Amino acid sequence: MKPLYQHGLLNSFYLWFDNYLLKKGEAYKTFSTDFYYYSDERVQNKVVFGSPYKQWVYDKNISGAQINPLISGDSGAIAEGTSGLKFDFDNGRILFDSDFATGTNISGSFTVKDFNTYIGNQTEETLITAGKYKINSRYGRTLTYVAPYDQATPAAFLSLGSTTNAPFALGGEDNTITDITAVIFAENLYQLDGVLSVFADSSKSIFGDIPFTGSPLDEYGDVKSYYSTGYDYANVVSSTDAYMVNDANVSKISDSANKTLPVDLFVGFVDFEVYKYRFPRS
Amino acid sequence: MPLRLSNKEVNSITQQVVRDRPFTAYLKKQLQREFEEIYHQFLSDFNGHTVTKEIEGGSRSPNISGTLGGVGNLFTYIGFDSGSQPITRLREVLETYHIRYNIQKNSVQIILEVPTKEQVFIATPMPWAMGRSWARGIERGISGFGEYLVKNTPLARSKSGFAIQADNKIRAGRFSNTSYMSALLNDYYKKIQKLENKTL
């Protein structure tokens, strides 16, 4: 199946959400840590070193973030491409060619999102009640690599809800109204209130389209070579093909309900109503 | 021969008429009667709606709205506390209206105030989430998280592994959204608009 409207919307919304939170909320932090070797059978012919944090920032539009992680080995700085060095921004790790010594002491600095962003494929209640999440390493824990692929909190899970086409103009133009929900998992109330505050103010915001093919990361989690000078949200997003956040309603789970949850996290919701004027039948 | 009146004369008569007590009394009575017809029809539609009936039926009500495919009911699915009366609070809001008459120079301005959708959604908070409306959720989709909370009573919680048990139960019913307050209110507003445009 070819990429259709909802695919494009979800991709565009995901990238907007990520950029908006990082930019408006300055929801990121730069760390300098050691990296830890581990094997990953999913990555063939690569040597993997993981950091204690996943979902690094790769968007050049976030000024102040360490977009190009600085990596050092036993004999000094290692530039991207040396010994096949690639960054896996999603899983918070680096990959080398298979002949790289696994005993090398690797360290580096990079910027981590305060909130990881995921496109959820689980229902809200499953996310909240049955989800088992890794927690991005923080103070007080033994630093080691964070396991790849699993979802780590603090995080926001995005999911598309209902979509309706309401007649808008003569000639077949409709207003396609889509409900998108973000379930927010925060470590503390300050964090949760911060995210809810950022997105409560997003009502009537406009965000541009980024086609499904414009997704920034490749199969290794590195920025696609297509973005030769790096990925910059402001340069990639369409300035003419736009969506509008008509309404953003924020809420959080009540204290009494929170006590019943099996997860030691603070949970909130952002219910977005997104408008797009289009010709669905053409 | 037809009587010819100048604009000035017509204005003068109109100005006297709108200040005439029998006229304003008739106007108010007529408007009240016509509005109440719309109002009672609206409340009757609300009371007769399957979602209203099902929630009002409490925790033992069958799923007459069909939103859960016949499994369970909305009262427990949304997660209302046993004995709570969410429809009563909503009905109180819907029953409010104000009619104000402003007698102006040569006309009577009638302002009909009825609850807005936003007021309705504020009056229908999800029992477990501050700021989320169950009435809106009926239309847009609603998660089964409320049901999870209701089933996790202190008694059930004393058993270990409650989260896994609840997860299985939740999956028994999937929610299908249906039109509810927005549709009822849109119809109400449309009829009021018609009344506003009417010449009495």
Question: Domain coordinates of chain B in residue numbers?
Answer: 7-197
**Contact call for B129 and A161, based on CB within 8 A:** no
**Mean pLDDT, residues B29-33 taken together:** 91
Residue B164: list chain A partners with CB under 8 A: 130
Q: Residue B59's pLDDT band (boundaries 50, 70, 90)?
A: confident
pLDDT of residue B9: 84
B interface with A, Cβ–Cβ below 8 Å: 126-132, 140-141, 143-145, 147-149, 152, 157, 162-164, 166-167, 170, 177
For A115-131, the pLDDT digits (tens) are 999 998 777 777 777 66
Q: Which helix (H) or strand (E) holds A244?
A: strand A242-253
Average pLDDT, chain A: 89
Q: Please give the share of chain A, as a percent, with pLDDT higher than 90.
A: 66
**Mean pLDDT, residues A134-159 taken together:** 77
d(CA A138, CA A126): 26
Q: What ranges make up the beta strands (E) of chain A?
A: 28-38, 46-50, 70-73, 76-78, 86-88, 93-97, 106-113, 116-119, 134-135, 152-153, 155-169, 173-186, 205-208, 242-253, 266-278
For A130-140, the pLDDT digits (tens) are 666 777 665 45
pLDDT of B147 above 80? no
Residue B131: list chain A partners with CB under 8 A: 249-252
Determine contact, residues A95/A51, Cβ cutoff 8 Å: no
Instruction: Select from B130, B144, B166 the Cβ nearest to the Cβ of A252.
Output: B130
pLDDT of B162 above 80? no
Token pair recorded at residue B96: 């409010």
Torsion of CA A137, A141, A145, A148, to 10 degrees: -50
**Contact call for A179 and B170, based on CB within 8 A:** no
**Mean pLDDT, residues B39-46 taken together:** 97
Nearest CA-CA partner of A245 in A156, A178, A160, A163: A178
d(CA A278, CA A280): 6
Q: How many residues does chain A have?
A: 282
Q: Residue B83's pLDDT band (boundaries 50, 70, 90)?
A: confident
Q: Please give the share of chain B, as a percent, with pLDDT higher than 70.
A: 87
**CB-facing half-sphere around the CA of B57: CA atoms within 13 A:** 17
d(CA A246, CA A177): 9
**Mean pLDDT, residues A77-91 taken together:** 93
pLDDT of residue B167: 43
Nearest CA-CA partner of A198 in A111, A110, A114, A90: A114
Q: What ranges make up the beta strands (E) of B78-188?
A: 98-103, 108-113, 125-126, 129-133
pLDDT of A147 above 90? no
Nearest CA-CA partner of A100 in A118, A74, A136: A74
CA separation, residue A152 to residues A115, A170, B29 (Å): 9, 47, 65
d(CA B64, CA B69): 9
pLDDT of B169 above 50? no
CA separation, residue B111 to residues B98, B186, B196 (Å): 8, 18, 9
Q: Tell me the backbone φ, ψ of residue A216, rounded to 5 degrees.
A: -75, -25
Q: Residue A208's pLDDT band (boundaries 50, 70, 90)?
A: very high
pLDDT of residue A131: 61
pLDDT of residue B10: 84
pLDDT of residue B173: 54
Token pair recorded at residue A144: 């080691």
Q: Tally A–B CB contacts below 8 A.
A: 61
- DSSP structural state of residue A141: S
pLDDT of B11 above 70? yes
Q: Which residue of B has its CA nearest to A177?
A: B140
pLDDT of residue B125: 92
Residue B127: list chain A partners with CB under 8 A: 254, 257
**Contact call for A125 and B143, based on CB within 8 A:** yes
**Mean pLDDT, residues B136-147 taken together:** 85
Q: Which helix (H) or strand (E) holds A119?
A: strand A116-119
Which of A248-262, B89-103, B183-197 comes out lowest in average pLDDT?
Answer: A248-262
pLDDT of residue A59: 95
Q: Which helix (H) or strand (E) holds A243?
A: strand A242-253
Q: Which residue has the tokens 């981590």?
A: A112
d(CA A156, CA A183): 6
Determine contact, residues B66/B176, Cβ cutoff 8 Å: yes
Cα angle B172, A253, A9; round to 5: 75
- Provide the angle, in degrees to the nearest 10, between the axes of the packed helices B181-197 and B21-48: 160
Which of A79-88, A195-204, B17-26, B43-52 comes out lowest in average pLDDT?
Answer: B17-26
ipTM: 0.73
**Mean pLDDT, residues A33-62 taken together:** 92
d(CA B104, CA B36): 24
DSSP per-residue string spanning A2-68? ---HHHHHHHHHHHHHHHHHHHHS--EEEEEEEEEEE--TTSTTEEEEE-S---B---TTSTTS--S
pLDDT of residue A97: 93
Q: CA Rg, chain A, in Å?
A: 20
